């Protein structure tokens, strides 16, 4: 038997039919690209509710701002120049001491074109002493907010007569504490001075009147050290004195913030809070470890933190360490 010819026949039988063309590299690359585009499109459809949420918030905010602006003129100027900027966050958290709570924060400021942008609408749930836009820390983690945790609903008007690079003067008036209708007015002056190429000092001073607290003064002082763009250390202290409040209410914090990858950062924070003439002068202190990253969209961030604190509110209460943990979903919109 002629084995070479038999082997050749078997090879021919096993090979693809001559009428069937093998796919080329370019065709395979085209199919792979189409498949990837389909997967990307499916992901965008699955996350479309995020874009709808952002659009809905912006629509509601603009509607409220238009209502304010109508007191000074018509709607037409708002169509061209009205631009809101703000932040919305949802913060579920749990503590061995306080249990579970769902916290939230909302801040928005909209220039009013009919006032030639000298006035702006202020809407939010935040600290009235911490309500300021345009700071260098505007889009950093929650550790860079006021050292005093006293967020409340605010609705009012702001006036910005001076907005320089090193100093800013601002006046505002409105209603705080939501339906309780606590009227307030305040003037705020911010001054920041660069000490060296890597150090900066910032002073925040407010004179205010509140229906519930009377006249008062708030003073905040921040010191920042940044040896390079990926590292930042910050020490901050806030003190508030009001006419109808005994003693000085104060808060202090120390934080280190490190950006280890694009839109990803870790931080650690030590904090203290108290009131000088309270039954317990130091009502809480502790620490947090924080991780922060961008989530699905350029304007959406996710933050997770954990740590321990030592709260005490009454003299009869024994101070004990309590674990606490929290999440934060943070949405930014506007400029």
Q: What tens digit of pLDDT does each residue of 148-200 get?
A: 556 677 888 888 887 788 898 989 898 887 666 788 899 999 999 999 999 99
Residue 49 vs residue 264, higher pLDDT: 264
CA angle 166, 168, 171 (to 5 degrees): 170
Residue 223 vs residue 14, higher pLDDT: 223
pLDDT, residue 295, reads 87
What's the mean per-residue pLDDT of the chain? 79
Residue 206 vs residue 17, higher pLDDT: 206
CA dihedral 18, 23, 25, 29 (to 10 degrees): 170
The pTM of the full predicted model, rounded to 2 decimals, is 0.74
Give percent of the chain above pLDDT 90: 41
pLDDT, residue 234, reads 95
Element at 64 (helix H, strand E) = helix 48-69
| Residue 6 reports pLDDT greater than 70 | no
Task: Lowest mean pLDDT of 80-89, 165-174, 251-260, 289-298, name the range.
Answer: 80-89
* Burial bucket for residue 152 (CB in 10 Å: 0-12, 13-18, 19+): middle
The model's confidence at residue 22, banded by pLDDT at 50, 70 and 90, is: low
| Residue 135 reports pLDDT greater than 50 | no
pLDDT, residue 292, reads 94
| Residue 311 reports pLDDT greater than 90 | yes
User: Do 294 and 282 touch, CB atoms closer than 8 A?
Assistant: no
pLDDT, residue 23, reads 56
Q: 37-333 has which fold?
A: Porin (2.40.160)
pLDDT, residue 213, reads 85
Query: What is the distance between the alpha carbons of residues 234 and 140, in angstroms, rounded to a whole number?
Result: 12
Exposed e or buried b for every residue in 301-310, given b needs 16+ CB within 10 A? Answer: bebebebebe
| Residue 79 reports pLDDT greater than 70 | no
246-288, pLDDT tens digit by residue?
A: 899 999 999 999 999 988 999 999 999 999 999 999 999 999 9
User: Do 115 and 160 touch, CB atoms closer than 8 A?
Assistant: no
| Residue 112 reports pLDDT greater than 90 | no
């Amino acid at each position: 038997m002629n084995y070479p010819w038999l082997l050749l026949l078997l090879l021919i039988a096993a090979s693809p039919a001559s009428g069937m063309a093998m796919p080329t590299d370019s065709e395979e690359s085209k199919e792979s690209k189409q498949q990837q585009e389909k997967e990307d499109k499916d992901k965008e459809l699955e996350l479309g509710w995020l874009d709808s949420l952002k659009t809905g918030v912006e629509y509601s905010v603009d509607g409220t701002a238009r209502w304010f602006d109508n007191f000074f003129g018509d709607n037409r100027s708002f169509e061209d120049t009205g631009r809101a900027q703000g932040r919305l966050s949802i913060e579920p958290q749990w503590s061995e001491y306080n249990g579970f709570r769902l916290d939230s924060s909302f801040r928005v400021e909209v220039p009013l074109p009919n006032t030639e942008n000298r006035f702006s609408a202020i809407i939010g749930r935040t600290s009235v002493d911490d309500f300021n836009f345009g700071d260098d820390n505007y889009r950093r983690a929650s550790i860079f907010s006021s050292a005093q945790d006293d967020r409340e609903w605010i609705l009012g008007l702001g006036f910005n007569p001076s907005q320089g690079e090193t100093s800013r003067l601002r006046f505002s008036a409105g209603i705080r504490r939501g339906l309780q209708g606590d009227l307030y007015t305040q003037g705020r002056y911010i001054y920041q001075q660069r000490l060296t190429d890597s150090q900066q000092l910032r002073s925040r001073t407010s004179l205010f009147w509140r229906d519930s607290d009377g006249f008062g003064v708030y003073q905040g002082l921040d010191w920042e050290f940044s040896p390079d763009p990926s590292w930042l250390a910050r020490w901050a202290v806030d003190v508030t004195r009001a006419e109808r409040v005994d003693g000085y209410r104060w808060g202090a914090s120390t934080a280190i913030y490190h950006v280890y990858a694009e839109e990803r950062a870790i931080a650690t924070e030590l904090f203290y809070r108290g009131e000088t003439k309270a039954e317990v002068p130091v009502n809480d202190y502790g620490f947090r470890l924080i991780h922060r990253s961008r989530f699905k969209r350029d304007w959406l961030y996710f933050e997770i933190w954990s740590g321990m604190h030592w709260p005490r509110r009454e003299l009869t209460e024994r101070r004990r360490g309590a674990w606490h943990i929290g999440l934060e979903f943070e949405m930014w919109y506007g400029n």
